Amino acid sequence: MEILRFIATRAALGVLTLIAVSLLLYLGTQLLPGDVASALLGQSATPEALAVLRAKLGLNVPAWLRYLHWLWGVLHGNLGTSLTSGTPIASALMPRLANTLFLAGYAAIIAVPLAVGLGILAAIREGGILDRVSTMLSLATISFPEFFVSYILIVVFASQLGWLPSLATVYDGMGFWDRVDATTLPALTLVLVVVAHMLRMTRTSTLAVMSAPYVETAFLKGLSRSQVVLGHALPNALGPIIAVVALNLAYLVVGVVVVEVVFVYPGVGQLMVDAVSKRDLPTVQACGLVFAIAFIGLNTLADILAALANPRLRGRRGR
Amino acid sequence: MWKPNRGTDRPAAGLDRRQFLSAAALAGAAAGLSTVSLIGEARAATEPTQGGHLRLGMSGGSTTDSLNPTTYLQWVPVNLGYQIMNGLTEIDANNKVTPELLTSWEAKPGAADWVFDIRRDITFSNGKTLDADDIIYSINLHRGKSLSPAAPELAPITDVKKLSANQIQITMSSGNADLPFILSDYHILVVPNGFTDWNNPIGTAGYVLEHYEAGVRCIVKKTRPYWKTGCANVDSIETLTINDVSARTAALLSGQVDAINRLDARTVDLLKRRSKFHVIQSAAGQHGVFVMNCTDAPYNDNNVRLALKYGIDRKQIVETVLKGYGHIGNDQPIPVTNEFYDASLPQHAYDPDKAKFYLQKAGQTNLKVELSVSDVAFTGATDAAVLFQQAAAGAGISLSIKQQPADGYWDNVWMKAPFCASYWGGRPTADQMLTIAYKSDAPWNDTFWKVPDFDKLLLAARVELDQSKRKEMYGQMQAMISSTGGALIPMFIDYLEAGSNKVHGMKPNAYFDFMGQRIGEKVWLS
């Protein structure tokens, strides 16, 4: 009962956050200079053409009313139509969302086990060679900007060695392995960028509980260091590890615009950037909503999992 | 090292293929390369081979693109449009207007009444035979209340009448000797009468749409023999949108695409050292402008405008910002590639003494001006402004640079700030360029330069059918703009593109890159 109520509360809070985010997004896009009509016509806009296009796109309706219309549509599963292409947003968004999730999933499958595994190993052999090397390398990769890591990978693996393509263009009807081949370089870039954070967190939170009295007891029982870490320290350190993994998974979905641009990957980020520059408000809103759902959803999930992993948390947060 | 087509003494048209090859061979030799591959290419270049899959990597596309020709604002959809559809007329490599779907034309004196013959015995990809109704429908898509960017150009057309199945008459409210040029506009592509399914355009060109995802990828296939001889040589074309210049270059280097447009001038020389690729440079009409509002102090005084024109080091800007891939501007917008370009016009050069002289004449010994820039105006605009600032300081002008956000620049800065960076792409005719930005009542007269004598001359030249008289008139107009206008034009910017040595037949074009965006039907693969 307790846990169900906890989940319900978290979910309700998530929905509220989503509505707040959509409102902020809307206000933010309203602050952008110019509107879709002037962005569409660009340098070649005449006042007459602007007026015609504004009327056609319904931009003469007050902003708050347009927001309510939009919200009403979304609640009924209708994301609206794009102001620039006139086609339903869902049809442009969904394939791209699938692409984004594919790339995020590919990166996560490599990054999460790698980071958590290395983090635990580093904690077991604190101060050892593996600990120091992994710390140094992961800090180095996180310190470089993503586009720099991307270009280095392109130069080495695409231009010099010719092993992997530098263009990650994927399309409908592409075979699974072709898709994997095309997205390997961007996925590797993302792995290098997110591994450090998770690795450090796993190592630190495991080591943090190593000073607790029950760990000392475990050592006194005669258990080896790896038994203590895996059997006693790790379960208690799981909460923060889950949180940081969720945060990084969310980043893999929402924060990859730069990588998409460098590798020309048709994901949601690129769609959103195009939409912002064209002031295609409904598309920006839809992309923002998708990102917000991914972010809030993963964080809510992390909260719930962390609570399940630690009954004490569940009791305190539920009320 | 040999540097191609710089300065104003180059021939009036783009390099032809032979000139280019010898130039490329020279460049190759200078870079310490064997010229064997280039000679081999020259031999292969004579006879187009058929077949193969051409992959183009292009900048200038986005997810908001559509294949509807009335919406073309970027280059990728234009290129795709020409793969599938034909235009009415075509501008050739020598900058002359040649037939495409309109085969011949004749104007009555005054250039307001025109009769055009339509190409016979060719069909659309859906089997329909091309006739006058298709042409009239396709022209009318850009007339009246149309949102097409070509609509203002066609506004003087009052009637398009069918004379027979293969002949139309166009009547204009005021004459225009350049009508065949205007009809080459890349928006005016021909579809069957009544056609509206823009997700799958039907045309008369060499290829049929197979798959299109806006801003990502387009595939077209050849399904039948093409009516244009020597064209549509490859079996299929894949056009990828790659807006990031580094990604585009990497794709070419790693062999994922065969040709790319818009090279980074700063890395072209590195690319030229690789023997597997060739670089095409096109002198073009696109130019960067520092726009002064002639109605706003201090720019309302022509002496101030002249002082600024003499206070900028154009040569340095072309050398530094464009790495030499461009040529010096002379404060008038007609490029050297245009037949009406007046080479006798004295060149404005960096001359601090002259600048000081004009400042004194204006009574502005301590001139302080603010220049608004953003790289969205033209690539390198900010760098050019910084160089301008240094040079101007030498002439006693204190120029401060105001960096503006790229986003919303055309809305909030251009035509609002009294002194700002801007650009114009090339226009096929002198009349179009002058009408769009220099005529007193032009909506985009961004310098607010209003001279009734100029307007009169412009209208007179437009209807003049005697070419030598026209050349004289356009020469006068260039002189007027250069010496009294508000546009400070430091440079014309060349187009740079590259192909792998598998691609043959790539040539420079005087107006738009990728051979006037018709590269798909022109090149062939070995």
Say if the Cβ atoms of B147 and A34 lie within 8 Å.
Answer: no
End-to-end CA distance of chain A: 12
Q: Please tell me the pTM assigned to this model.
A: 0.81
* pLDDT for B176: 92
Closest approach of A5 to chain B, Cα-based (Å): 43
Alpha carbons B24 and B305: distance in angstroms, whole number: 40
pLDDT at A39: 67
Instruction: Give the pairing of strands B524-525 and B503-504.
Output: antiparallel
The share of chain B scoring above pLDDT 90, in percent, equals 68
Give percent of chain B with pLDDT exceeding 70. 91
B148-164 mean pLDDT: 91
Q: pLDDT, tens digit, for every residue of B185-240?
A: 999 999 999 999 999 999 999 999 999 988 889 999 999 999 999 999 999 999 99
pLDDT of residue A33: 65
Please state whether the peptide bond connecting residue B149 to the residue before it is cis, i.e. omega within 30 degrees of 0.
Answer: no
Beta-carbon separation of B62 and A151 below 8 A: no
The partner residue sitting opposite A151, judged by closest CB among B57, B246, B414, is B246
Q: Is A30 on the interface with B (CB under 8 A)?
A: no
- Here the tokens at position B291 are 């726009």
pLDDT band at B480 (very low <50, low <70, confident <90, very high): very high
A271 vs B: CB within 8 A: yes
Q: Is the dihedral of CA B247, B251, B253, B259 positive or negative?
A: negative
Residue A319 has pLDDT above 50, yes or no: no
The answer, yes or no, to whether residue B42 has pLDDT greater than 50, is: no
Q: Residue A61 pLDDT more than 90?
A: no
Tens digit of each residue's pLDDT (9 = 90 or more) over A101-134: 999 999 999 999 999 888 888 887 788 888 888 8
Of B246, B410, B443, the CB nearest to A42: B410
Residues of chain B positioned with their CB less than 8 A from the CB of A155? 250
Cβ separation B407–A159 shorter than 8 A: no
User: What integer pLDDT is reported at residue B10 of this predicted model?
Assistant: 28
Q: Say yes or no: A151 contacts chain B, CB-CB below 8 A.
A: yes
A72-76, A278-282, B424-428, B471-475 — most confident range: B471-475
Alpha helices (H) in B292-400, listed in sequence order: 302-310, 314-320, 352-362, 381-394
B425: Cα separation from own chain's centroid:
5
| Cβ–Cβ contact A33 with B under 8 A | yes
Tokens of A138: 């992961």
Residue A8 identity (one-letter amino acid):
A
CB contact under 8 A, B410 and A92: no
With CB atoms and an 8 Å threshold, state whether B66 touches A33.
no
Mean pLDDT across A275-280: 78
Which residues on chain A are in Cβ contact (under 8 Å) with B437?
A: none
Nearest neighbour of B250 by CB, restricted to A34, A45, A166:
A166
CB contact under 8 A, B257 and A167: yes
Q: For chains A and B, count residue pairs whose Cβ atoms are closer than 8 Å.
A: 108
Of A42, A158, A172, the CB nearest to B73: A42
Q: Which residues of A touch B247 (CB under 8 A)?
A: 166-167, 261-264
Where is average pLDDT lowest: A273-287, B26-40, B332-346? B26-40
* pLDDT tens readout for residues A288-314: 888 888 888 888 888 888 877 776 655
Q: Does the beta carbon of A31 lie under 8 angstroms from any beta carbon of chain B?
A: no
Comparing alpha-carbon positions, the chain B residue that sits nearest to A169 is B216
Distance CA(B445)–CA(A309), nearest Å, equals 69
Nearest to A266 among B216, B251, B443 (CB): B216
- Residue A288 Cα, gap to closest chain B Cα (Å): 16
**Interface contact B149, partner A, CB < 8 A:** yes
CA distance B422 to chain A (A): 10
Whether A192 and A149 have beta carbons less than 8 Å apart is answered as yes
Nearest to B55 by CA among B251, B192, B211: B251
Nearest CA of chain A to the CA of B316: how many Å?
Answer: 28
User: Of A265-274, A285-294, B44-53, B312-321, which range is least confident?
Assistant: B44-53
Question: In three state form, how does the secondary structure of B258-297 look?
Answer: CEECCCCCCCHHHHHCCCCEEEEEECCCCEEEEEECCCCC
